[in-house]
Structure formats: C-alpha cells, structure tokens
Structure 1
Amino acid sequence: MSNNTTREIIAKLLKRRDELRLESEALDNMIRTYQKLMMLEKTPDPDQLHLWRGEGPRAAKTAYLSEILSEVRRIIVGEGRPMSRGELVRRLEAEGYVLDGRDKAKVLGTNIWRSEQFMHVEGQGYWPGDIPLPRNG
C-alpha cells in the first residue's frame, strides 16, 4: 500500500470512530432522558409520599428544564458564539434531550428568555448573560 492509501484509511477510521463516539453519547443521553421520563410516570405509594420531598412531576420537569438550560449554556460557550433557537434544538435533540411542544424552537426560546440567564443578540441568537460577548459576536 502507498502512504497516501494508508493515510486515507487512517483518516476514514478516525472519522468513523468520532462518529461512533458521538452516536454513543447521544444514545447515553437518550437513555438517561427516557429513564427520567419513566420517573415522571410513576405514581408513588401514598404511604411513601414522605420520601419524595417535593420530587413530584412538577419538580422533576423543573429539574429537567434546569438540566436543559445548563446544556444550552455549555453548547453556546463551546461554540464561542451566540446560537439561534433552531440550532440549539437540533443540538439538544442530537444529544438525546426530549423537547416538548409543537414549535420546539419557540418553546425553548421562551424558556431561555424566562430563565433570565441569557441575552438575545439581534440576528445571531442567545448568549449567556454573565459572559462578555465575543468581539466577533
């Protein structure tokens, strides 16, 4: 085999390994998401309610939203630029998060706005409010 052929094979193998790693991470996130959803569906035994301490469906949904907003922040900071609602929905779903609503981008945007953790940069998307906007942003 020539060096070029070997390099091409190695490049393809490395690319495939990265694709498999991303797919595996997405599957792990989906598994965690569905496990959390299963917890929302369980009805506690009335004799065991004292063990829940506010961990009912509403509290679980609030915790899940908090996790999503943390992930939104991580994604945006990782990109180093403001991101649109649509971009964020695609990235979150690729990572296994389940988003509610007919217009997922609008629902996500509303929750981002309500959190008061992000600022909207006109024509670009959302950026964490406590981090200075990059000069090119």
Structure 2
Amino acid sequence: MKAVVLKKAERLRERLSLIAPLATVTPEVFMAERPRRDLCAFYLILAVEECRDLAEHLIAENAWGAPESAGEEFELLAQKGVIDTALARRMRQAVGLRNLLVHEYAEVDWGRVHSAANDLSRLSEFLAAVLRFSGLQP
C-alpha cells in the first residue's frame, strides 16, 4: 500500500509543480494565452485525477465500499477520518472543475481555472492528509 501511495504522491507533487509557474501571470494574460491556459488545465485535470486515484486506493485497500461518484469518494474519506468535511467539500469542487474541463458541459470559465491554479492548497492538503493517514508523514 505504501509504495502505491508514495508513487501517486510523487506524481501529484510533480503535477502541482508544473501548474504553479503557468498561473503566475495576470488573469488577462492567462486568458489570452491559449497554450498556457490549455496546458494549465491539462495539468489540473491530471492532478485532480491523481487525488481521485489516491482516494480510490485508500477506499479499496481498507475495504470501505464502493462510492458511486468521485464526490462520494471524498465524503467517505471524511467519514473515515482521513480528511475533514470542509476539505471533502473543496475536493468535490475540484472534481467539478475537472469535469467541466474534460466534458465541457458549459463554456469554460478561464478565470475560475486561473484561480484554481493559483490556489492549489486543497490538493496539497489532501495529499498531506493521505500521507498522514498512511503513516508516511507526521
């Protein structure tokens, strides 16, 4: 279990490190530079997917059932004490943004993407909580 968590944690950290420099521009520049914003969106999608993979791994490893949606995965982790309910809610929002980017249900709000890329705290907090729960971080 720990080897899987460590590998996924390493990939998530890498994704986060790739997002940060892409978002350091003003919202106007971000929205005007399509290659920058598309690459940033791609890395955000990958980062959220990595968080989902970590959630699914913990749920399966501990035989906590089979949530029906990504949002339920994070709610279950909150119920089991891995993360708090506020972080579960914030992770559901991250999944919502990921879904919007992947499926384009509506026109993408690039300002929202820019804001998410400039505040990666929910993803970092999720990773820290998973590592603590797994005994890999104090």
Scaled to the shorter chain, the TM-score interval is 0.3 to 0.5
Larger helix percent: 2
Q: Which has the larger radius of gyration?
A: 1
TM-score normalised by the chain length of structure 2? 0.35
Higher relative contact order (CA 8 A, sep 6+): 2
